[in-house]
Amino acid sequence: MSKVRLLVGTRKGAFVLTSDGKRQQWEIDGPHFAGWEIYHVKGSPANPDRLYASQTSGWFGQLIQRSNDGGKTWEPVGNQFAYDGVPGTHQWYDGTPHPWEFKRVWHLEPSLNDPDTIFAGVEDAALFRSSDGGQSWHELPGLRGHGSGPHWQPGAGGMCLHTILLDPRDPKRIFVAISAAGAFRTDDDGKTWRPINRGLKSEQIPDPNAEVGHCVHRIAMHSSRPNVLFMQKHWDVMRSEDAGESWREVSGNLPTDFGFPIEVHAHEPETIYVVPIKSDSEHFPLEGKLRVYRSRTGGNEWEALTKGLPQRDCYVNVLRDASSVDSLDACGIYFGTTGGQVYASADAGDSWAAVVRDLPPVLSVEAQTLA
Amino acid sequence: MIRVVLPAHLRTLANVNGEVKVDVTGQPTQRLVLDALEASYPRLRGTIRDHVTKERRAFIRFFACERDLSHEPPDTPLPAAVASGAEPLLVVGAMAGG
């Protein structure tokens, strides 16, 4: 019988949550790396028992942990993230040049077909790759070096590369997103990159055609249609039909289009999910009601999903890497909150239940569907 | 034999209990002790000082003999009591943050 494993990163450790295919009863294992910030944990699609975790601390810096048994045991691997060549400068909050400085790994994206190859999105924004199971890391410098790097500025959470999408049909195509620079694409395995932000509108940017400077919070795709991208921007939910060449807004009837995560249903490429948040200065749900919104039309027409979610006095946030879907039928969808709850829906969002309620603030959730 | 006391998180990472002991050839300094420590426990590389610059991480402090040695140049000889093994070198996570 199929199983689902949730890999949960929190402010104070990692947790591994497992259930059978019914997804009603869950076992909770953890904390792993207790006391450390675990920004992200993700498994290899080619070998689901091969996991990687980004473990970080203001005191002790960055570690990468690797597991070969689905998270039962771990070993630290390489933790040296050295920018290629002279790092140069980006813009600081006040507009002055600021040296590129490695701070932490936000997101780990294992290769679709090689368990030893993995990408790391880091702060200050850059993309690294390891081809030896995380033992050594090498920057793909064409991203920072494509020309606009000196104009990138950090978002409120830092200048982080937080989204990495690997095109399942074209192994040389990778999409990334950076706060607050925007979205970028390579078509030559990371050698050269270009911004793909046409159509994004950000009120704070005077130039409506600005190449960079957009605070993209998350991008998602369905593996069957890698040219169709969905984006949760700082404000606005966006859609691209042409691999990011152009974007159009699909916020439609959302009560607020600010938010962080965005997900695509595992079997329905036009069914997408967001968690609207009141505003950029009030990072909590509108009216104290935690509502996931689902569109079955690829955007514009949204319905609130509330069954099983708190509908009063709820003021948590859902961070950009803290949602995921499984590939069972019906599709399971999951998200974690800054209040430490992990919610699960085994019916594509129609109803929800808390898997666990009192973890540390949740930074990331990844679902694995296991045979 | 130099005695080193690590903060709890680094003891867990290095998989050690209590003090660790490292051998240093010649006059012990911060640099030589950390070189020996990282050679014995490679998992600690990058957690106390930068991989490349070897600069102390901002929220790490070094104490010994009731003195704060954090701002001593890394090649300054450690106190005689540390060199003799009478006192440990304390690696401390600064009291900052949550």
Q: Tell me which residue range forms the domain holding B46.
A: 2-93
Q: Which residues pair with A370 in a beta bridge?
A: A3
* The total number of residues written for chain B in this structure: 98
Condensed to tens digits (0 to 9), the pLDDT of residues B8-34 reads: 999 999 999 999 999 999 999 999 999
Does residue B98 sit within a domain? no
Does residue B84 sit within a domain? yes
Does residue B22 sit within a domain? yes
Out of A171-180, A200-209, A245-254, least confident range: A200-209
* Among the partner residues B46, B93, B94, nearest to A62 by beta-carbon distance: B46
> b/e for A70-98, b at 16 or more Cβ within 10 A?
bbeebebbbbbbebeeebeebbeeeeeeb
Report the alpha-carbon distance of residue A111 to residue A243 in Å, rounded: 19
Instruction: Tell me the mean pLDDT in the region A65-77.
Output: 98
CB contact under 8 A, B47 and A63: yes
Condensed to tens digits (0 to 9), the pLDDT of residues A302-316 reads: 999 999 999 999 999
Minimal Cα–Cα distance from B48 to chain A, Å? 6
C-alpha dihedral sign at B70, B76, B79, B82: positive
- pLDDT band at residue A204, thresholds of 50, 70 and 90? confident
**In sequence order, what are the residues at sequence separation of 6 or more whose Cβ sits closer than 8 angstroms to the Cβ of residue B12?**
none
Report the alpha-carbon distance of residue A341 to residue A357 in Å, rounded: 4
Which has more pLDDT, A240 or A93? A240
pLDDT given for residue B97 in this prediction:
56
pLDDT given for residue B98 in this prediction:
52
Does residue B66 sit within a domain? yes
Minimal Cα–Cα distance from A201 to chain B, Å? 37
Instruction: Map out the domains of chain A with their CATH numbers.
Output: 3-370 (2.130.10.10)
- pLDDT band at residue A44, thresholds of 50, 70 and 90? very high
Does residue B50 sit within a domain? yes
Indicate the average pLDDT of chain A.
96
pLDDT given for residue A207 in this prediction:
82
Q: How many domains does chain B have?
A: 1
What are the start-end ranges of the E strands in A209-261? 216-221, 229-233, 237-240, 248-249
Q: Which residues pair with A353 in a beta bridge?
A: A344
CB contact under 8 A, A76 and B13: yes
pLDDT for A344 beyond 80 = yes
CB contact under 8 A, A80 and B45: yes
pLDDT for B1 beyond 70 = yes
Does residue B6 sit within a domain? yes
pLDDT for B86 beyond 70 = yes
ipTM of this model? 0.94
pLDDT given for residue B26 in this prediction:
93
pLDDT for A364 beyond 80 = yes
Minimal Cα–Cα distance from A84 to chain B, Å? 13
Q: CATH no. for residue B60?
A: 3.10.20.30
Report the alpha-carbon distance of residue A272 to residue A348 in Å, rounded: 10
pLDDT given for residue A65 in this prediction:
98
CB contact under 8 A, A61 and B43: no
Condensed to tens digits (0 to 9), the pLDDT of residues A80-112 reads: 999 999 889 999 989 899 999 999 999 999 999
Helix (H, G, I), strand (E, B), or coil: what is residue B32? helix
